[in-house]
Amino acid sequence: MPDEPGAVITPRVQGWLSVDKPVGWSSFQVVARVRKLTRVKKVGHAGTLDPFASGVLVVGVGKEFTRQIETVQSQPKGYCVRMVLGMETDTLDPEGRILSVDEGVATRPLVQQFLEDPSFQRAVLAQWIGDIAQMPPRYSAKKINGVPMYAMARKNQEFEVRPTHVRIDSIEVISTRQGVFPTVDLRIHCGKGTYIRSLVRDIAIALETVGYAQLLVREFIGDYRLADALSVEAIPCVF
């Protein structure tokens, strides 16, 4: 039943909400939907997911919970990513403009060895395990003087990208596929602030080629698991 004119509108719920963000939605769109449904002004998410990505987006509803977002953001995270070798985009994801193509990628010795040899895979990936310095993508939400880098990149403005310090706990090869542009599916467990797109870029460089993240799924943040997350369509059912 719609609210009657002049009725006092009260918040419907406050707390934590784990949402399976669909591909094509921004994290802000999910927050806006939750804000509209709950009628709570203070709503925020615990870690941005790019529009091309899907998976766990933890949303804090109400002032008491948005104040604790940093606590959730600092929890370990898990991702699955599909790395395409031999093609580079300016955003390091499928939404960007193609910058370069390595037409000989399928026959490069390091690439072939990585696709076929598990011990070589582990040796290559080991260099990113632990506390590392990482260069964020130019198209990212990281801010310089209060302005997101993606906003400056879209305007072709010049700016310096500085490394950030992150922690990666494990990188596992799930599967590999041969082809004109080979693909590798990886499972990554990491800490706050890790850019999976940057990791894909750097692994490709180590294999003497280029690459980008074609698919990305966040499987968990701390105890919030993808299997327990609500679809966007199911959000109204909890209110």
- Number of structural domains (the chain) is 2
Query: pLDDT digits over 31-59, tens only?
Result: 999 999 888 999 999 988 999 999 999 99
Residues with a known catalytic role: 50
Say what the alpha-carbon torsion angle 188, 175, 183, 95 is, to the nearest 10 degrees: -50
Q: Which domain holds residue 105?
A: 77-221
Could you give the 3-state DSSP secondary structure of residue 106?
helix
Q: Does pLDDT of 73 surpass 70? A: yes
Same domain, 90 and 131: yes
Q: Does pLDDT of 90 surpass 70? A: yes
CATH of the domain at 230: 3.30.2350.10
Question: pLDDT band at residue 9, thresholds of 50, 70 and 90?
Answer: very low
Residue 234: inside a domain, yes or no?
yes
The pTM of the full predicted model, rounded to 2 decimals, is: 0.89
Beta bridge partners of 143: 148
Beta bridge partners of 52: none
